[in-house]
Amino acid sequence: MARKAKSGSSASASRTGHAPAQDAEGHQRGSKTGIKREEKREHIVRVSLRLFAKHGYDSTTIRMIAQEANMSLGLLYNYFDGKDSVLEEICRRNLEDLEAVYRIADSGSPQDRLGALLDQVFQHAQRHPQFHKLFRSLRNQSTVQQLVGKELRRFDKNVQHRLEGLMAELQGSRKRGKGSTTVDPAVDASLLYASIDGICTHNAAQAKGYPLRAVQQRLLEHFSN
């Protein structure tokens, strides 16, 4: 007796020789129970960030991303053109967040404003350790520089400018004793920015074992006195 033809997606799978496409949660594409398009994009971004932070951007392939995201390569290409566009999305989102994090309050003493800034930055570092780990490595990869180097340099320039203004105010608020010397605010700003960057990177690498709060307090004391 002849077998009945398969219906729906099963018939499609029979004709093409492939199983019906699935999303990141294992649902068939188009299924009402499947997660929405933006949620799928978010899932790809999270997976890619984890892989980039673990293996480095150059060593991570688009196939690795698809496999880790539990979706076919063809389905992934419905959301991103390739790993370059995923990286650009990761940087766009996180640099926007960091721009807000590095905004310095307009009111309060310079010391209080520095304390508030450090709170904001290190809270972000605790919430997004994988990005901070990736953020450091991005600067050392030529391929990445070609993709997002301009955005990274613009961000660094803006942060440096903001910190220089704060360092100048801190110096102006200190009482200078006889024989004391004045440090160029740009130098202090560079030292502070490098310190913050390094602390965030170490915190991401060591996770729960890093004494972030104690280090933050010591950094505040160093630049406030």
Is 149's pLDDT higher than 90?
Answer: no
Min mean pLDDT across 3-7, 87-91, 213-217 is at 3-7
Largest CA distance in the chain: 105
225 versus 158: the higher-pLDDT residue is: 158
Is 97's pLDDT higher than 50?
Answer: yes
Judge if pTM exceeds 0.75.
Answer: no
Structure tokens at 126: 């605790």
The C-alpha angle 25, 27, 29, rounded to 5 degrees, equals 115
d(CA 8, CA 22): 15
pLDDT of residue 144: 79
DSSP letter, residue 8: H
Mean pLDDT, rounded, for 141-152? 82
pLDDT of residue 140: 73
Mean pLDDT, rounded, for 216-220? 96
Min mean pLDDT across 33-42, 153-162, 182-191 is at 33-42
Most confident residue range from 17-21, 135-139, 142-146, 198-202: 198-202
Q: Give all domains of the chain, ordered by start, each with its CATH number.
A: 22-80 (1.10.10.60), 84-173+184-224 (1.10.357)
Tens-place pLDDT, residues 103-146: 888 889 999 999 999 999 999 999 988 888 888 777 777 777 88
d(CA 162, CA 126): 22
In sign, the C-alpha dihedral spanning 118, 121, 195, 167 is negative
DSSP letter, residue 36: P
d(CA 162, CA 184): 14
- Are the beta carbons of 198 and 104 closer than 8 angstroms? no
- Give the model's confidence band at 181: pLDDT under 50 very low, under 70 low, under 90 confident, else very high: low
Mean pLDDT, rounded, for 163-176? 86
pLDDT of residue 143: 78
d(CA 172, CA 87): 41
d(CA 147, CA 9): 39
